Amino acid sequence: MQSDQIVALTSQQVASLQTQQIGALTSDQAAALETADIAALSTKGVNALGTRAIAALSTDNIAA
């Protein structure tokens, strides 16, 4: 999935991603997530983000 495809996902679609799909996101793809999308992730989803993906998030994403 390309970063522009990640941006095109709705919050509901992001929330429905499986843990393994979230864990497979690259840093660029994670950085492309909108703040509302980050907020829509379950705790398991957030935990599935790799360290590099979390490091790529903006301050606004983390505040979500």
1 is written with which tokens?
């999935």
Q: Tell me what pLDDT residue 24 has.
A: 92
The residues of the chain scoring below 70 in pLDDT are 64
Q: Tell me what pLDDT residue 51 has.
A: 85
Provide CB contacts within 8 A for 12, sequence distance 6+.
40
Contact 36, 61 (CB under 8 A): no
